[in-house]
Structures are given as structure tokens and as C-alpha cells.
Structure 1
Amino acid sequence: MKKKNGVIVRVILFLVMIALFAGALMIACQGEPQENPGEESSSQTNSDIESSSSSAESSLTESSATESSTTESSVDQSGEESSEPSDESSADQPESSQEESEEPSTPVTADDLEGIAKTAAEQVGIPFASGGDTPETGFDNSGLIYYACVQNGVQIPRRTSEQAEYGSEVFYTDLQPGDLVFFGESGQAAFGGVYIGNGKMIYSSVPGEDVQEVDITSNYWQTNFVTGRRVG
């Protein structure tokens, strides 16, 4: 009987030991760290964000590089265009305003110059008339010069400013009969006449006065002398 009880006690102890071992094994297994799905998801999300950020930065860098290249190209093209003359701009440019002295279409002889002086002198006493250039209408200042020249075969311009550039220049001390003389207080030719020699000229001055002969050797006339022109 005692022997049987001893066997039972041993069996119970063995089972208890197995149970304790199994419990310890379970506790050991439960103590091992398990992967947290949330952490894995968070890690994956962070990785995706970093990847997206990197891609965005790369795209931004490429875009900036493209814009920079485009800008440089535009600047280069602009520089090339500005260095070359524009055909349209050149077409719109006005011609030079500097007028060259017109030359007589046919040679003018000494007799022609004498004729100009004589014709001008023959008009003394004809009234001043604005826009007039014949004895019948009367003469304004440039009209008298125009008439005297045309009557002797010289096709001179009608306006004073153009007459003062016609032919070749003659200095005051070298004037000869038939030369044209021009005066102006501002240094620009404002009016003129026909030189007839001996320091005198014929001109049509102002409204209310007739064509007259005047001495141009006085200080006033010499001071305001602008140019002499020889049409021959």
C-alpha cells in the first residue's frame, strides 16, 4: 500500500513539473517582441512621404533648371536680335535732313549773272505783295529773287531757306553783280536780295513798301549778313 502511494506521488510530481515547464515555455514565448502593425504602417507612410518629397524636390530642381535654360536662351536671342539692325526700324528711319546745295541744271554764264542783277533793278518801285513773284502781282522778298533768276534761265527754289543753299557760297568781300545775298539777325537766312555791285542790293522788304535799292555796307547789314550765293 505504501509502495503504491509512493508511485502516485511521483506521477503527480512529474505532471506538476511538466505543467510548470509548459507554463514557463508559454511565458517565454509571450515575452518575445511582436511586430506592431501600426508601427510598420507608420514607417511605410514616412517612407512614402520621404519618397514623395524627394520626387517633388527633384521635379522642382528640374523645372528650375529648365526655366533657367529657357531664360538664358531668351536672353541670348534677345542680345542677338538687338545687335542686329531691324529691317522694319531701318525702313521707318527718315532720310537725312541735311540738304546739299543744289547745283544749277545748266551752266550759268557771266552774262546770266549780269542779267539777274539788271532784271532785279528793273523791278524797283513795284509794291510788296505777299506770295507775289511777278511785276503784275507784286513781289514778296523771295518772289523777287525767284523772278530775277527764272527770267535769266536759272530755275531757283521759291523759298528763302532753300534759295540760301542754292549754288555755291560767296563771302561778303567777294560779291559780284548777280550774286544773291541773305541776312538774318539770328544767324539764319530770314530775307535776301540781289546784289547789283558797288555795295548795293535790290530787295522787296515789307508790306507797305516797294521794291527798293539799299546800301549793304553799313554796320547793320554787315553784322547780319548770313551768306552770299552764286548761282553760276
Structure 2
Amino acid sequence: MKRSLVKFAAVLSVFFAGTSFINVPSVSHAQEVQAATVTQERKAVVSLAKKQVGKAYVYGATGPYSFDCSGLALYVYKNAVNVTLPRTTYGQVTKGTRVSLSNLEPGDLLFWGSASAPYHVGIYIGNGQYIHAAAPGQGVIKATLSSYFYPSAAKRVLK
């Protein structure tokens, strides 16, 4: 009986002492708020990018009625989440954190060409799709990632 009481007391003391013996990662309120904010920002970027589909491609244009590829990215980020990107793909590829093409999140920037000197940029919107100012005659379109036209790099601007 005494042995059972000692075991019971030991179990209770561990229980009431908290989880000091159990490795449970703590998430602060600030981390939760930051994660929610990033999710909202991603949704805002995707939503505004989708609203640009159908607009004309004009080299050197930065919106709101026509775009080239880097102008589209610049316009969407500035107006959706107040993030100012450089004007060209060469500048845009220097921003954010490089991410694997197998680990894309909505709002990530996709680049074609070399990772240091890309010739094209688009905005990943999820489900294997992206929006980009494709070319004169096509304008801003939604496209699906394919092996035919696959990006060479991706950058995560929203953390």
C-alpha cells in the first residue's frame, strides 16, 4: 500500500509540476499574430494578382491598366501589402529568401532564366499556378507550372 501511495504521489507531482519533463514547443502570441499576418498578406497578394488577369502587357508599364512582368510584381506587392520591390527582374531576384521550387507558398516570386540574371518573373498563387504578364498579345494571364516553361528560382518576400 505504501509503495502504491509513493508511486501515486510521484505521478501527481509530475502532473502538477507542469510539463517540465515533456518537450512541448511554446508558441508566443506574437508568433501566432505574425503567422496570421503573413497568411493575410499572402491572400492579399494572390487576390490582387488575380484581379490583374486580362490586362495588357506593355513593356515598361507598372499598372494599373497594363504591365510588363516585373511591373506586375512591383504593382501587386506595393498595392496589396505595401512592399516596394525593385523595378526590374534583376533587382527583384535579390529580395527575399530563396525557396525550393518544391516548397512554394502563395505570394512567392517565380523567376525564369538564371538565378542571378532572370529574364521573367511571376507570382505563385498556389495549386501549381501562377500569374504573370506573359507577353505582348497575351497580357496578364494565369498559368500552370509545367516542364515546358518551368521557373529556375523562387524567392519568398513575405516571411
Relative to the length of structure 1, the TM-score reads 0.49
Would the alpha carbon gap of residues 215 and 194 (structure 1) be closer, same or farther in structure 2, given more than 3 Å must change?
same
Distance of 2:116 and 2:91 partners within structure 1: 15
SS of the aligned residue for 1:212 comes to strand
Task: Give yes or no for contact 2:93–2:111 (8 Å, CA) kept in 1.
Answer: yes
SS of the aligned residue for 1:109 comes to helix
TM alignment of 1:1-232, pairs within 5 A: 109-136=38-65, 138-151=66-79, 152-184=81-113, 188-216=117-145, 218-222=146-150, 225-232=151-158
Task: Give yes or no for contact 1:179–1:228 (8 Å, CA) kept in 2.
Answer: yes
Task: Give yes or no for contact 1:187–1:226 (8 Å, CA) kept in 2.
Answer: no
Cα offset, 1:110, TM superposition: 2.2
Structure 1 stretches of 4+ moved >3 Å: 185-188
Would the alpha carbon gap of residues 184 and 135 (structure 1) be closer, same or farther in structure 2, given more than 3 Å must change?
same
Cα offset, 1:135, TM superposition: 2.2
Distance of 2:134 and 2:149 partners within structure 1: 14
Larger helix share, 1 or 2: 1
SS of the aligned residue for 1:166 comes to coil
Task: Give yes or no for contact 2:113–2:120 (8 Å, CA) kept in 1.
Answer: yes
Distance of 1:145 and 1:171 partners within structure 2: 19
Amino acid at match of 2:156: R
SS of the aligned residue for 2:149 comes to helix
SS of the aligned residue for 2:43 comes to helix
Larger strand share, 1 or 2: 2
Higher relative contact order (CA 8 A, sep 6+): 2
The answer for unaligned runs of 5 or more in structure 2 is 1-33
The answer for unaligned runs of 5 or more in structure 1 is 1-106
Task: Give yes or no for contact 2:89–2:119 (8 Å, CA) kept in 1.
Answer: yes
Task: Give yes or no for contact 1:188–1:226 (8 Å, CA) kept in 2.
Answer: no
Distance of 1:146 and 1:227 partners within structure 2: 18
Cα offset, 1:188, TM superposition: 3.7
Distance of 1:177 and 1:135 partners within structure 2: 22
Distance of 2:116 and 2:99 partners within structure 1: 16
- Cα distance per residue 1:103-143 (max 9 Å; x no partner): xxxx872211221111111100001111111123x101100
Larger Rg: 1
Distance of 1:201 and 1:162 partners within structure 2: 20
